[in-house]
Structures are given as C-alpha cells and as structure tokens.
Amino acid sequence: MKILITGGAGFIGSAVVRLAVARGYGVVNLDALTYAACLDNVAGVADSPLYAFEQADIRDRAALDRIFATHQPDAVMHLAAESHVDRSIDGPGDFISTNVTGTYELLEAARAYWVGRGRPEGFRFHHISTDEVFGSLGATGQFTEETPYDPRSPYSASKAASDHLVQAWHHTFGLPVVLTNCSNNYGPFHFPEKLVPVIILNALAGKPLPIYGNGSNVRDWLYVEDHADALLLVLQKGALGRSYNIGGENERTNLELVRTLCAILDEKRPLAQGSYADQITFVTDRPGHDARYAIDPSRIRDELGWRPSVTVEEGLARTVEWYLANEGWWRALQERQGVGQRLGVKA
Ligand SMILES: NC(=O)c1ccc[n+]([C@@H]2O[C@H](COP(=O)([O-])OP(=O)(O)OC[C@H]3O[C@@H](n4cnc5c(N)ncnc54)[C@H](O)[C@@H]3O)[C@@H](O)[C@H]2O)c1
C-alpha cells in the first residue's frame, strides 16, 4: 500500500511518515516546506526505497495532479495545514488559504484521480483534524464525535471548514473518506513555538517559562507516536464517512503540565540550586483562549480497539530526553521567523 502524506515534514506528519515506512508502507511525502517544516524530521527514512518526497503546495492543483499521476497512491493522509493558533490571530489569511482552499484543491485532485482509476473501493482520503473544532468545555463533559461544531479561533474555524468539505465530498461525490479529530500532541520533533518545547528550551536557557493567563486551561495530552499509530489504524480499519476522536486520556491544566516538565528537568538536568519551576511566569492570556478540551475516546477504543500507550508523565520524560539529546535540531529552528516571540496577543 502506498500512502500520499501531506504535511509530512511537519511535527505529526513526520511521525506518521516514520511509522508508516517502518511498517513497510510506501510513502510519498508532499510538503510545501513552510516555516514549520523540517526535512531533518524524516532524515531517518529519506534513503528508504519506500520513501519519496515532493515539494509542492496543496493549493497548486496542477502540482497535485502531477503527483497523483506519478505516484499512483492507494490512500491520502492529509495533515498539511497552518497549525499555530497564535499565528492565526495575527494573520488569519494563510489559515483560510491553506486549510480551507488547500483542502478543497486536494479533495478535487483526489476525486479526479479516484474517478479516473474507476472509483476503487479500497481508496481512502483520511483527513486529520483537531478537537478544537468543538469549541470550549466547562469543568465537566467531553467531546464526542456528535458534539456540534463551535470553533472559536481562526485556526479552529479553518479546520472546521475543512472537515465539512471532506464530509461533503463523501456525501455528494462518494469519495471514500475517514476523519479524525485529535487533542493536543507533544513529543519529539515538536516545532519550538509550541508550549511543550517552549517550556523545555526556555528552562534550559534560564529564561522565563510563560504561562498564558492563570494556567488553568485544560488540554488532553496525546503523545505524537501514539497518535501516528492511531492514524494508521483508522486509515486501515475506520468505517467510511466516519470520524474518530483521538485523545491521550491525559487531561492536565497548562500549569500542571509545566510543573511536570520542570520536575522532569530537575531530575535529568539539575540546576546548581533551586528548581526550573522558579522560572514560571504568568503572561497576558491569548484572546479567546478556550478553557478546556477533553476527548471521549470510546468510539476508537470500542470499535477499533485503540488506546494510548503512555501516560503524559512517561511521554513528557521521553520528550525531554529527546530535546536534551537533539540540540542541533532545535537550535537551527529557533532562528526562524517569529520563533521565540510572543505572537497573537492583540485581537
Ligand atoms: N499539533 C497538534 O497538537 C494538533 C492537534 C490536532 C490536530 N492537528 C492537525 O494535525 C495536522 C498536523 O499538525 P502539526 O502540528 O504536525 O503541524 P505542523 O505545523 O508541524 O506541520 C504542518 C506541515 O504542513 C506543511 N504545509 C503547510 N502549508 C502547506 C501547504 N499549503 N501545502 C503543503 N504543505 C503545507 C508545512 O510545511 C508543515 O510541514 C494539522 O492538520 C493540524 O491541524 C494538530
């Protein structure tokens, strides 16, 4: 089986690429190489005969048609997106363009290819989305696949729009799709503008550890390699037209998460005195910051038999070890535009 993976040079896409190649799938990694991409993320598989790379933009229909014709994939896993909520506040246009128009172009290219091949039943278009499309929860409750969409940020609104397009292409044109909506990922190769790497790298640099608002926002933390495993399972076994929520079963407040990271760092790279937690600083909240996301994972657990393999404490310990061992990787990315600056402050 050959899978066309979009966004395979990003954080989650590269984890899917690495796992898919390790499991013997053919992989075509299609990525525009935006500021968020890093081909080092897939260096470990770049020489595999199972792997090919195509630098292309999902908004470029001619390039998509050429890539489908050249590689003849059996499935598409669509992860390419603008993904950083703070950047979507400063500049929503790129999010609408890539996440909505880009998904439309990819759907149309996939449909033309699928129709041209005689509508093979086994073909799959797997759209990877976020739990942020469901909005914000109070202290109780969880998102199920039936929770009404209620996106709050330009990022989540653009992802919600893309989810609706994918469902429409299934219902109207019969395109064989599956969808997944996952919670916050963390793990190796996480771009150093997102919370977990920012905290690890600022801690090591002796800088303040910024926590938005009072740190009470709750997220359900999912280790990226568990997520990649779930995605390949849904691709293989998911029911047509069905969506699956993927969570880590690890709800933590941002403050708890940061304190856990500090405790792991205190153990693995102790300071001469004191704790990394002394660097915690509360900063102005993100405009429209959703209070709580929580996933009800029963559908993927009961129908497909999937559960996460690690607790957030285990996953964070692995993540910290990875950042300590891969300084060359993250130092290079810290030079990129906007990284290390506070973005998305003014609405
Ligand atoms: N990171 C999370 O916690 C999380 C949670 C839920 C859902 N998701 C979704 O998972 C997917 C991957 O997220 P991520 O964190 O790996 O993102 P990322 O920002 O790390 O990577 C995105 C990749 O897409 C590529 N890309 C962007 N625009 C493109 C375009 N126009 N054409 C081709 N390639 C383009 C980038 O170059 C990059 O390699 C996204 O669709 C995101 O919405 C992420």
**339 near 85, Cβ under 8 Å?**
no
Q: Quick check: pTM over 0.85?
A: yes
CB atoms within 10 A of CB 49: 7
Find how far residue 171's CA is from the centre of its chain: 26
Mutate to test the pocket of ligand 1, among 5, 6, 12 (most ligand atoms within 8 A of CB): 12
Separation of 128 CA from ligand 1 center, angstroms?
9
**Of 150, 155, 153, which Cα lies nearest the Cα of 138?**
150
**268 near 200, Cβ under 8 Å?**
no
Name the H helices within 151-248: 154-173, 195-204, 224-237
3-state secondary structure of 237: helix
Place of tokens 């003849």: 72
Pocket-forming residues, ligand 1, beta carbon under 6 Å:
6-7, 9-13, 31-34, 36-37, 57-59, 79-83, 98, 102, 128-130, 159, 182, 184-185, 191
Alpha-carbon span 222 to 310, nearest angstrom = 9
**158 near 100, Cβ under 8 Å?**
yes
Per-residue pLDDT of the chain (347 residues; tens, 9 = 90+): 999 999 999 999 999 999 999 999 999 999 999 999 999 999 999 999 999 999 999 999 999 999 999 999 999 999 999 998 888 998 999 999 999 999 999 999 999 999 999 999 999 999 999 999 999 999 999 999 999 999 999 999 999 999 999 999 999 999 999 999 999 999 999 999 899 999 999 999 999 999 999 999 999 999 999 999 999 999 999 999 999 999 999 999 999 999 999 999 999 999 999 999 999 999 988 888 888 999 999 999 999 999 999 999 999 999 999 999 999 999 999 988 878 786 877 76
CA of 58, closest atom in ligand 1: 32
**212: part of which helix (H) or strand (E)?**
strand 209-212
- The yes-or-no answer on residue 149 being catalytic is no
**Of 341, 27, 78, which Cα lies nearest the Cα of 207?**
341
